[in-house]
C-alpha cells in the first residue's frame, strides 16, 4: 500500500501531458464502440442480405463494415500516438528528475546505494514504467468496456442466450487472473535470477584481465553456467504455468460457443432468433475472450511498472546528508595566490563503518605551500584530501579553507577554488580540448596549451594527428595510463585553482616525467596550495610539509629530513624505496 502511495508521487511528471492522457483513452473507447457495432452489421448482412439474396444490401452494409474498420483504425492510431507521447514524455521527465536528484546526492549516499543500482533505476525500471503507462492508457478502460459492452449487447439480442455470458465471463476471469496471480511472484524470482546472471556477466567483463591472468576462465564459465541454468529452469517453470492460459481459456470459450450454438439453434428453430443474431453472439463471445487476456497482460505489466516505480521513488526520497552552506565569494574563478587549509582535530568515518577512517588529524597548510601525504595502503590518504572539497563531511573537528569551515561554503563556491585529480584517471568521449575545458569552460586555447605544458602533456598533443581536436574514446581507452593521468592534471590546472590536490595521480609516470611535473607545479605563477598524495617518497620529499599516515592517524609531520630522523613509519617507507 505504501509503495502504491509512493508511486502516485511520480504522476507529477506526467502532468504536462494531461491532454494526451485524456485523448488517448477517449479514442480507444471510441474504437471500442465501433468494434461493438461490427457484429450487429454482420448480423444484418446475414439476415437481410445473404438470406434474401439482396446483393445491393450486402455491398451497402459491406461498405459500412469497411468504413467502421477505417474509422476504428484511425481512432486506434490516434490513441496510440497520444498514449505513446504521454508515456515517453513521462519517462523523459522522470529520467531527468532522477538524474538531477542523483547528482545532488553526496558521496555517502552514492556509496550506500551503489552504482549498478542507480543505473538500473535510470534505465530498466523507467523503461518498465514507460511501458506500463502506455498500456494502461490504451487498455485499462478499453478492455473492461468491451467485456461489459459485449455482454450488454448480447442481452439486447436475446436474454436467454445472453445468460451464457453471465456464466462464462466470471469463469474466464477466475482462470486468467488466477494464473496471473500464481505466475507474478514466480516472475519476480526470475527477475532476481536475471539480476544474478547480469551481475556475474558484469563482474566477468570488468575483471576479464584478472580472470585470464590467473587462468580462471573455466571456473568462471562454470559459475555462469550454474546461474544461467537456474534462471533457465525458473523461466521454463513459470512459462509452463503461463502457457496454460491459452488452452484453458480456449477450451472454456469453445464449450461456451457449443452451448451458445446449441441454445441459438433451438431459438432459430422456434423463430425467436435469426442466424445473423447467433453469429453476432459468437463474435461477442470471442471479443470477450480476447479482451480478458489483454486485460490480464496489462495488469501484469502494470504491476511490474508499479514495483519499478516504487524502486525509482525510493531513490527520489533519499535526501543528501550534506547540507549546502550560504557563504559565497565575489571571485571564485582564477586567483593569484593559494588559500590556507587547516585541519582541526579532524575525524571521519564512512557510513556503516565500525571505526573512524582518519582520527585526530591536526595540521595547517599555508597559502602557496606544498603538502605531501604518504602512508601505507588503507591508511586514509584519499579520505583526508576528499574532506577538503567536501566530498564527505567530517565526523569530528572541522576543515578550514581560507579561514572558514568548509561546511559554511556554498558547494559551488568551495569547489570552484579547488582543482582535484583523483586516483583513477577518468576522461570522457570527446576531443582533447573538450576534456581539458571541463576544468574551465571559458578558457582560451592559450590557457589550455599552458595547462597541458605544465602537466607535461603538450608533447602528447603535438604527437597526435589532429592536435587538440584528437578524439579521446570513452574512458580514455585509446590512451596509456600515463597519458590519461597527465591530461587529468591539465584539466585541473586550466582552472588555475587556489588549492590543487593530486591524489596519487602520477603513479603511472616515470621518474623523469614525475620530476618535471613537480618542478613545473612549483613554478606556477599563481602559486596554489598544493597537496600531493603519493606512495613514492621521491614525489613528496621536497614538500614544505609531509604528513605521514598510519592506520588513519597522523604518525608524523615535517620535512623530509626531519621525518627520516624522527618518524619510524616514514623512515621504513623511504628505506624500502631507496
Greatest extent of the chain over all pairs of C-alpha atoms, in Å:
118
Task: Look at strands 341-348 and 404-405 and give their pairing.
Answer: unpaired
Inter-residue contact 484 to 492 (CB < 8 Å)? no
Return the H-helix or E-strand segment holding 485: helix 481-493
Domains of the chain: 2-316 (1.20.1560.10), 341-577 (3.40.50.300)
Q: Say how far apart CA 124 and CA 18 lie, in whole Å.
A: 25
The pLDDT score that the predictor gives to residue 352 is 75
Angle between helix axes 275-316 and 159-206 (nearest 10 degrees) is 30
Angle between helix axes 142-157 and 126-139 (nearest 10 degrees) is 20
Inter-residue contact 390 to 320 (CB < 8 Å)? no
How is residue 27 annotated by DSSP?
Answer: H
CA dihedral 559, 564, 569, 570 (to 10 degrees): 50
How is residue 406 annotated by DSSP?
Answer: G
Q: HEC string of 16-75?
A: HHHHHHHHHHHHHHHHHHHHHHHHHHHHHHHHHHHCCCCHHHHHHHHHHHHHHHHHHHHH
Show the beta-strand stretches assigned E in 80-231: none
Inter-residue contact 27 to 139 (CB < 8 Å)? no
CA count, 13 A, side-chain hemisphere, 286: 10
- Percent of residues in the chain assigned helix, strand, coil, to nearest 5: 65, 10, 25
Q: Say how far apart CA 498 and CA 414 lie, in whole Å.
A: 10
Q: What is the pTM of this model?
A: 0.76
How is residue 330 annotated by DSSP?
Answer: S
Q: Mean pLDDT, consecutive 10-residue segments, the chain of 578 residues?
A: 58 90 93 90 87 85 91 93 94 94 86 79 88 89 87 83 83 81 78 77 85 91 92 88 80 84 84 85 84 78 79 86 76 59 93 84 93 90 92 92 91 90 88 92 92 92 89 87 91 93 85 88 90 90 92 92 92 88
Return the H-helix or E-strand segment holding 545: strand 545-550
Inter-residue contact 31 to 79 (CB < 8 Å)? yes
Residue 464 CB coordination number (10 Å): 15
Amino acid at each position: 500500500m505504501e509503495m502504491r502511495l509512493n508511486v502516485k508521487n511520480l504522476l507529477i511528471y506526467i502532468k504536462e501531458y494531461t491532454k494526451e492522457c485524456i485523448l488517448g483513452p477517449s479514442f480507444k473507447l471510441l474504437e471500442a464502440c465501433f468494434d461493438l457495432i461490427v457484429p450487429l452489421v454482420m448480423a444484418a448482412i446475414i439476415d437481410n442480405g445473404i438470406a434474401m439474396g439482396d446483393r445491393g444490401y450486402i455491398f451497402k452494409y459491406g461498405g459500412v463494415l469497411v468504413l467502421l474498420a477505417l474509422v476504428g483504425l484511425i481512432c486506434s492510431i490516434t490513441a496510440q500516438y497520444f498514449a505513446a507521447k504521454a508515456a515517453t514524455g513521462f519517462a523523459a521527465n522522470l529520467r531527468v528528475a532522477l538524474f538531477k536528484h542523483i547528482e545532488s546526492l553526496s558521496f555517502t549516499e552514492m556509496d550506500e546505494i551503489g552504482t549498478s543500482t542507480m543505473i538500473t533505476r535510470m534505465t530498466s525500471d523507467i523503461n518498465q514504467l514507460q511501458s506500463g503507462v502506455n498500456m494502461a492508457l490504451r487498455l485499462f478502460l478499453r478492455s473492461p468496456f468491451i467485456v461489459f459492452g459485449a455482454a450488454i449487447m448480447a442481452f439486447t439480442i436475446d436474454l436467454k442466450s445472453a445468460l451464457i455470458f453471465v456464466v462464462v465471463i466470471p469463469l474466464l476471469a477466475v482462470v486468467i487472473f488466477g494464473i496471473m496471480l500464481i505466475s507474478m511472484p514466480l516472475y519476480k524470482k526470475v527477475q532476481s535470477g536475471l539480476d544474478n546472471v547480469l551481475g556475474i556477466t558484469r563482474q566477468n567483463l570488468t575483471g576479464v584481465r584478472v580472470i585470464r591472468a590467473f587462468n580462471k576462465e573455466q571456473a568462471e564459465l562454470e559459475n555462469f553456467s550454474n546461474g544461467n541454468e537456474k534462471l533457465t529452469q525458473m523461466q521454463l517453470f513459470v512459462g509452463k504455468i503461463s502457457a496454460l492460459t491459452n488452452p484453458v481459456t480456449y477450451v472454456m470459450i469453445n464449450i461456451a460457443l457449443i452451448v451458445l450454438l446449441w441454445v441459438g439453434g433451438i431459438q432459430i428453430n422456434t423463430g425467436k432468433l435469426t442466424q445473423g443474431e447467433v453469429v453476432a453472439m459468437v463474435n461477442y463471445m470471442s471479443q470477450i475472450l480476447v479482451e480478458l487476456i489483454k486485460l490480464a497482460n496489462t495488469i501484469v505489466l502494470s504491476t511490474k511498472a508499479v514495483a519499478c516505480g516504487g524502486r525509482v521513488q525510493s531513490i527520489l526520497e533519499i535526501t543528501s546528508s550534506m547540507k549546502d552552506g550560504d557563504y559565497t565569494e565575489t571571485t571564485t574563478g582564477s586567483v593569484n595566490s593559494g588559500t590556507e587549509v587547516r585541519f582541526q582535530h579532524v575525524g571521519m568515518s564512512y557510513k556503516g563503518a565500525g571505526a573512524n577512517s582518519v582520527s585526530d588529524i591536526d595540521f595547517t597548510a599555508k597559502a602557496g605551500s606544498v603538502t605531501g601525504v604518504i602512508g601505507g595502503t588503507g591508511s586514509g590518504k584519499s579520505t583526508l584530501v576528499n574532506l577538503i572539497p567536501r566530498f564527505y563531511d567530517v565526523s569530528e573537528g572541522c576543515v578550514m579553507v581560507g579561514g572558514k569551515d568548509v561546511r559554511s561554503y556554498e558547494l559551488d563556491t568551495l569547489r570552484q577554488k579547488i582543482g582535484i585529480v583523483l586516483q583513477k584517471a577518468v576522461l570522457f568521449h570527446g576531443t582533447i580540448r573538450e576534456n581539458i575545458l571541463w576544468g574551465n569552460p571559458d578558457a582560451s586555447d592559450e590557457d589550455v596549451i599552458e595547462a597541458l605544458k605544465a602537466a607535461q602533456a603538450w608533447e602528447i598533443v603535438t604527437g597526435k594527428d589532429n592536435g587538440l581536436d584528437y578524439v579521446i574514446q570513452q574512458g580514455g581507452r585509446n590512451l596509456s595510463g600515463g597519458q590519461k593521468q597527465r591530461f587529468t592534471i591539465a584539466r585541473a590546472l586550466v582552472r588555475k585553482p587556489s588549492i590543487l590536490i593530486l591524489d596519487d595521480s602520477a603513479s603511472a609516470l616515470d621518474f623523469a616525467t614525475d620530476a618535471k611535473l613537480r618542478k613545473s607545479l612549483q613554478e606556477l605563477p599563481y602559486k596554489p596550495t598544493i597537496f600531493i598524495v603519493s606512495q613514492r617518497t621521491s614525489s613528496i620529499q621536497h614538500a614544505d610539509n609531509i604528513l605521514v599516515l598510519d592506520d588513519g592517524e597522523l604518525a608524523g609531520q615535517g620535512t623530509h629530513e626531519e621525518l627520516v630522523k624522527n618518524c619510524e613509519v616514514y623512515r621504513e617507507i623511504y628505506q624500502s624505496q631507496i
